[in-house]
Amino acid sequence: MSNKIKLAGQFIQALPHAVALGMTLDDLDAGTAVLSMPYSEKIIGDPRTGVVHGGAVSALLDTCCGAAVMSHPSNPPGTATIDLRIEYLRAATPGQRITATATCYHVTRSVAFVRATATDEDTDVPVAMATGTFTAGASA
Amino acid sequence: MIKRPEPVQIVKQRRDGVLKALVEGVPYIQFLGIEFERRGDELTAILPFKEELIGNPILPALHGGATSAFLEVTAIISLSWTNLWERMESGALETENIDHNHLPRMPKTIDFTVDYLRSGLPRDAYARARITRAGRRYASVTVEAWQDNRSRLYAQATGHFVMPRQES
């Protein structure tokens, strides 16, 4: 694993909410990040089916988008979410790990534009898709 | 004969019992530590601060994901609550010893968009949802969240939901 991924992974491990959900950084490349999160009892949103809560998926997508912004070649010093829209395409299969992939398409002096998808082990149809804008440059 | 109004404690017991069943059955709501306060049919969601909700340890600030989850939970519970109210009050819903398994299914989120207006401070947050359209199949909900000042929102959201099919 490259040094950059290792460093960014340590960065994620410094975010208490990411740690609480068990998120790990799986890959990082200029403007693209891959993060995943294990299935667990505590993120269940529907106790009758065991399907995870949308909020947990959105937390993973938000973190993944932020990581993609930070890895962009323009090297933004920090980032915060301005707006994030999530579309929930289908229920994630209980028991399966959820993986998010985010790409930061463009960074201006103040704004980063990001898209992301989340899948479980069945990668044909995503579980959720996200579109977001993030601050770039000096913190808001 | 004029029907006498129900004793207040019976009314409160029924409403609080249904709200408790709605909220306590969901592990993720317990994980985040979200609580609901009720005034008549009006709900206020509370997210008590805890370290696990931090997303930026340097500032420090609440994690955007924790905030969006808080607003989405507020929207879903408020929507379910409004949907249940009529049946709960008419007696159509069996409310004695009710638990999550005896409640109708939860609405499903189609999409949810969050505006992060200010960074979330390391303290309690509050949210209220407004159901802007409640159809038989689809509903639209907006949520406002604040911390110290009700008029200074730190986040707002809008979302669309598929309503559960009415079970008998």
A41-86 tens-digit pLDDT: 999 999 999 999 999 999 999 999 999 999 999 989 889 999 999 9
pLDDT surpasses 70 at A100: yes
Domains and CATH numbers, chain B: 8-162 (3.10.129.10)
Q: What is the CATH number of domain A3-135?
A: 3.10.129.10
How far apart are the CA of B112 and the nearest CA of chain A, in angstroms? Answer: 5
Partner-chain contact A17 B65, CB within 8 Å? yes
- Distance, CA of A83 to CA of A132 (rounded, Å): 5
CA distances from A102 to A92, B56, B68, B108, B141 (A): 18, 19, 18, 24, 27
Q: How far apart are CA A38 and CA A88, in angstroms?
A: 18
Rounded to the nearest angstrom, the minimum Cα separation between A71 and chain B is: 17
Separation between Cα atoms, residue A90 and residue B13, nearest integer Å: 36
Q: Which two tokens stand for residue B72?
A: 């989405």
* Interchain proximity B116–A43, CB inside 8 Å: no
ipTM for the predicted complex comes to: 0.92
* Res B3: pLDDT: 81
> pTM of the predicted model, to two decimals?
0.94
Tokens 């899948």 belong to which residue?
A: A119
| A60 at B interface, C-beta within 8 A | yes
Nearby residues of A53 by Cβ (< 8 Å), 6 or more positions away: A43, A44, A45, A46, B26, B28, B29, B69, B72, B73
DSSP secondary structure letter of residue A36: E
B20-75 pLDDT, tens per residue? 999 999 999 999 999 999 999 999 999 999 999 999 888 899 999 999 999 999 99
Please give the backbone phi and psi of residue B112, each rounded to the nearest 5 degrees, phi first: -150, 125
Candidates A69, A82, A88: best to mutate against B (most CBs of B within 10 A) is A88
Check whether B137 has a pLDDT greater than 50. yes
Task: Look at residue B112 in the predicted model and tell me its pLDDT.
Answer: 98
Q: How far A2 CA lies from chain B's nearest CA (Å)?
A: 24
Going by their DSSP bridges, the two strands A98-107 and A81-88 should be labelled as: unpaired
Predicted pLDDT at A111: 96
Contacts of B37 (CB under 8 A, 6+ apart): B43, B44, B46
pLDDT score for B95: 81
Domain spans, chain A: 3-135
B147 inside 8 A of chain A by CB: no
- CB contact, 8 Å: A46 with chain B? yes
Nearest to A62 among B65, B73, B115 (CB): B65
Per the CB < 8 Å rule, is A55 touching B69?
yes
What contacts B120, CB < 8 A, 6 or more positions away?
B61, B62, B63, B64, B66, B67, B147, B154, B155
Q: Count of H helices and E strands in chain A?
A: 3, 8
CB contact under 8 A, A86 and B55: no
In this structure, are residues A78 and A139 in contact, taking their beta carbons and an 8 Å threshold?
yes
Q: Which of residues 125-144 of B touch A (CB under 8 A)?
A: none
For the stretch B64-114, pLDDT in tens is 999 999 999 999 999 999 999 998 998 888 887 788 788 888 999 999 999
CB B131 within 8 A of CB B137: no
* Contact flag B113-A59 (C-beta cutoff 8 Å): no
Identify which has the larger pLDDT, B92 or A116.
A116
